Structure 1
Amino acid sequence: MVEEILEFRKFPDNMRVSLVVTRFKGRATAWWQQLKESRRQANKSRIDSWARLTKHMRRNFLPYNYERNLYNKLQNLRQGNRSVEEYTTDFFHMAARMTTAETQEQLISRFIGVLRSQLQNALQQFNPSTVSEAHQRALAMEVQLRSNWTSSSTRTRPQLNTTTETTLGQSSNATTSKPDANQKDIPNDSIASSRLARSNALRCFTCGERGHIQTACPKQNRRGLLTQEAACDGEPRFDEYNSDQDNDNDEIEGDT
C-alpha cells in the first residue's frame, strides 16, 4: 500500500526513505535509530534507497519462516463453502506476498485445482490464459449452477406437497371406509328374522306363551282381575239355617 502511494505521488527514490521513516512509531522508530547508529559505528553507508530499506525491514519485522508459512497457506487454500469471490480474494492476497514468483501456468493450475469439484469439471472445457480469466469464468459458472439449483428446488417443492396431500387424502379415505369394509351387508329381513327367533326362544312361566318373559307378561294383572270378577259374579249367597230346628229351639219346656 505504501509503495502504491509513493508511485502515485511520484516521489523520487532518494526521497522515499526520508519520507517513510518519518511515519515510524514505537518499535519501528527505536529500530531505525539503532540501525543508523550501528551502521555509522561500522563505517557503513547510509540507507538511502527504497529497496535496501524494505530488505532490512523484512529481515527484522517478519518471522524467519514467513515465506514458508505463506507458501504452506497457499498450498492448503481451498474454496470450501465460500463463494468464488471470497476464495479469489484470499488467493490473490497470498500470491502477492510471495517473493518467489510463479509462472502464469502454475498460478492458473493452483487457482483451478482448489475450486469445488463442480467448478473444476466445468472449467476443464476451457483453457484460460490468466488467473483473471479463470476467475471470471468460475464466477459465471457459479451463478449458473446456483440458478439451476434454485429452479430445480422450486420444481420439486410443489411435487412433494402434492404427494403429501395425496397420501394424506388416501389415508383419510382408508380410515373413513375401514369400518364399512369390516361391516357385513345384512338385509333388513334377516335382521327382523333373527330378532323374531330370539323372541320366540323365550317362554313366559305365567301364561305359558312364547315371545316374552314372566316379568313382561301382559296377562299377569288381567288374570288377577278375572279371578276377582269371577268370584263376584251371581247372586249373593247367605248361610242356610234349618227352620224346624229353630222352632224346636224356640220351645221352652218348664217343669210341670
Structure 2
Amino acid sequence: MKVEQLFTCHHVSEEKKVPLATLSFEGNVMYWWTGLERDRRLHRDPPIEYWNDLRGALRRRHIPSYYNRELMDKLQRLQQKNMSLEDYRQKMELYMMRASIKEEETTIIARFLSGLNLEIRDKVELLPYRDLNDLIQLCIKVEQQNLRKGSSRKESSYSNSYPKKEYRREREDSIKKDKHKETPKSVGKDVSTSQSRSRDIQCFKCHGRGHIASQCPNRRTMILRERGEYSSQDD
C-alpha cells in the first residue's frame, strides 16, 4: 500500500514500477527475486514487467494458501469483549481488507452488530441511524455512558462503605472509653474490700480493731528504777 501511494504521488509509469520496487529488495528477498528471474528465463516464461504480476508473485511467496480461510474464520468469530469500540471497528475493517471482502453496507452493519457487547447492542438497536458511520458514533456514545455509570457506581459504593467504617471506629473508641471508665470503679471496690477486711482484724494487746499487735499504737515502755520500782509511759 505504501509503494502504491509512492507510485501515485510521483506519477510512475507501469514500465518503471517493477524496477523501482525491486531496488528496495535486500537479503533473502533479493535472492528470491534473482532466482525467480533465472527460473523464468530457463523455462522461457515472459519476465515480470507489471506491478500487479510482481505483487501476485510476492503474495504466493510469503502468504500461505490458507491465509484467506483463516481471515474469514477470524472475521466470523470476531467479538468485542474487552476491546474498546474503536479497536473492535479497526480489527473488523483490517480483516475485511486483507481478505479482500466487499460486502453491502447492510451486511457490514449486521456483522458489526453481531459482535458488539450486549449492553451496547441492546441500546443501539432501539435508536435510529442512517449508515455504518452513524451507527458507530451512536455506539461510541453508549460506550462512554456505560463507562461513566461504572465509575459513578464505584464512587457510590465507596461512599456507602466509608460511613460503616467510621461507625465501627466510633463504636470501638466508645468501648475503649467505657473500659477506661470502669477501671477506677474496680479499683474503688478493691479498696473498700481491703478496708472492710482490715476492720475485722483485732489486736490481742489493746483489743482494738484494724491493726495487729506489732503495729499497735498503744504500746507502753517499762522503765526500771534503782529500788526495784518501775513506771510506764506511752511511746
> 1:212 maps to which residue?
211
| Matched AA of 1:91 | M
Deviation at 1:142, TM superposition (A): 2.5
- Give the partner amino acid of 1:231: E
Match of 1:198 in 2: 197
Give me the CA root mean square deviation.
Answer: 3.7
| TM-score normalized with structure 2 length | 0.72
Paired with 2:162 and 2:54, the residues of 1 have a C-alpha distance of: 69
Say which SS state the counterpart of residue 207 (structure 1) adopts.
Answer: coil
Distance across 1 between alignment mates of 2:36 and 2:208 = 137
Which stretch shows the higher mean deviation, 140-149 or 165-174?
140-149
Shift of 1:18: 4.3
- Relative to its length, the structure with more strand (as a share) is 2
Which residue is 1:54 aligned to?
A: 55
SS at structure 1 position matched to 2:106:
helix
Q: Could you tell which deviates more after superposition, 171-180 or 105-114?
A: 105-114
How big is each residue's C-alpha offset from its partner over 1:4-34, in whole Å with a ceiling of 9 and x where there is no partner?
3333444444553444334433444444444
- Say whether residues 1:231 and 2:229 are aligned partners: yes
| 2:100 counterpart SS class | coil
- Partner Cα separation in structure 2 for residue 103 and residue 163 of structure 1: 57
Matched residues, percent identical?
24
Structure 1 residues not aligned, in runs of 5+? 234-256
Q: Distance in 2 between matches of 1:10 and 1:19?
A: 12
Please give the secondary structure, in 1, of the residue aligned with 2:163: helix
Give the corresponding residue for 2:115.
Answer: 114
Give per-residue Cα distances to partners, 1:85-138, cap 9 Å, x unaligned: 333333322221013434433333333333334333333333655543343333
Asked if 2 retains the 8 angstrom alpha-carbon contact of 1:17 and 1:48, the reply is yes
How many residues of Structure 1 are paired with residues of Structure 2 in the alignment? 227
> Displacement of 1:214 after TM fit?
1.1
> Superposition pairs for residues 23-172 of structure 1, below 5 Å?
23-40=24-41, 42-126=43-127, 128=129, 130-172=131-173
TM-score (norm 1): 0.67
The residue number in structure 2 matching 1:238 is: none
In structure 2, the residue corresponding to 1:81 is in which secondary structure? Answer: coil
What is residue 7 of structure 1 aligned with on the other side? 8
Code of the aligned partner of 1:217: C
- Distance 1:43-1:217 versus aligned 2 partners, 3 A rule: closer
Q: Following the alignment from structure 2 to structure 1, what is the Cα–Cα distance between the partners of residues 78 and 21?
A: 33
Q: 1:173, CA displacement in angstroms?
A: 0.6
Residues 200, 155 of structure 1: CA spacing in aligned structure 2 closer, same or farther, 3 A cutoff? closer
Distance 1:46 1:231, change over 3 A: same
Question: Pairwise mapping of residues 171-182 of structure 1 onto structure 2 (< 5 A)?
Answer: 171-178=172-179, 180=181
List runs of 5+ in structure 2 lacking aligned partners.
Answer: none
Structure 1 contact 204–217 (Cα < 8 Å) conserved: yes
Structure with the greater alpha carbon radius of gyration: 1
Q: Secondary structure at the match of 2:229?
A: helix
